[in-house]
Amino acid sequence: MSARDRALGAFSGLALGDAFGMPTQSMSRAQITAQYGTVDRLLDAVAVQPISPGLPAGSITDDTEQAVLVARLLIEGAGRIEPTVFAKALLDWESGMVRRGLADLLGPSTKRAVELLESGVSPDEAGRTGTTNGAAMRITPVAIATPPGLGPLLDAVVAASSLTHNTNLGIAGAAAVAAAVSAGIGGADLPAALDHAERAAAAGAARGHWSAGGDIAARIRWAREWVRGMDTPALADAVAEVIGTSVAAQESVVAAFALAEALGDRPVEALRLAAGLGGDTDTVAAMCGAILGARHGLSGLPADLLTRVRAVNELELEPLVDGLLDLRRQWKENSHEQ
């Protein structure tokens, strides 16, 4: 399997997970069961969906849309995203959501950081309270563009995340997802990729402003050990009731890794399960989809589901992935010259 197939798998897996979670995001498990029953396919959002009411099956949300935005900015900036350009792009994206009548707007950490930047606060300080999963959900393009070496990868994660999530928790969560995806694209098997994610989360926790919360590396390690061998009902209860699926990075990022650990050889089952857990379902499924997509590649994901997602959203990922892989190759070439 080629690196391109794995990179396309990562971005496509993110979009597929996002689409599975779209109709259930911000709903409780009980509400999901009452409205949809078992989430075993891509579903239309019901009218009472609090974020994306009435959207057709296969629609993506902010997770994929902001990842696409990051990918474009990385390519246009030759691997670098200028903070004020990033902030403007995020605000323009939110304005587009408002025009479409959707409530899928900027998350709390990102919104506050952009407002602070506009008020004159420096980019280094704007994200000092960002502890949610916003950086982690959109980090996959950085992972595609950067080899898995811990130092360079962590620097790239911080550069792309610190504007909105310049905290130990925000950076650790984004670093974990980026490391798993980048390692998978590089050919690592799933256990090695998840081990690398733990190391990246531990290193990422030393960056940014400190904020109280469970250590993400430690929680990923504990969760991976705990869920091994669980059957599906027990796994669902463990993730929803103990690990947690809120927007807090130390819950939803860890939830994605728990699902990847337990269902790594069954990516679609992992995404279906994530969509039924309640909470930030689209983001948990998107992060898990990126991690498992990097492992299984585009060829290992169901073509019929991906065709539906791409058609509904007019999503063209190949040019973005090719541009990001060019950045990855350039980084390798430059590091060899030095």
Does residue 102 surpass a pLDDT of 70?
no
Cα 81 to Cα 76, 157, 164, distances in angstroms: 8, 11, 13
Dist. CA 289–CA 266, nearest whole Å:
11
Q: Tell me, what CATH number does 7's domain have? A: 1.10.4080.10
In the chain, the percentage of residues whose pLDDT exceeds 90 is 82
* Residue 135: partners with Cβ closer than 8 Å, 6 or more residues away: 157, 160, 161, 164, 165, 170, 171, 173, 174
Q: What's the total number of domains in the chain?
A: 1
Q: How confident is the model at residue 158 (pLDDT cuts 50, 70, 90)?
A: very high
pLDDT of 93 reads 78
**pLDDT tens digits for range 61-81:** 999 999 999 999 999 999 998
State which residues form the domain around 46: 3-337
pLDDT tens by residue, 171-190: 999 999 999 999 999 999 99
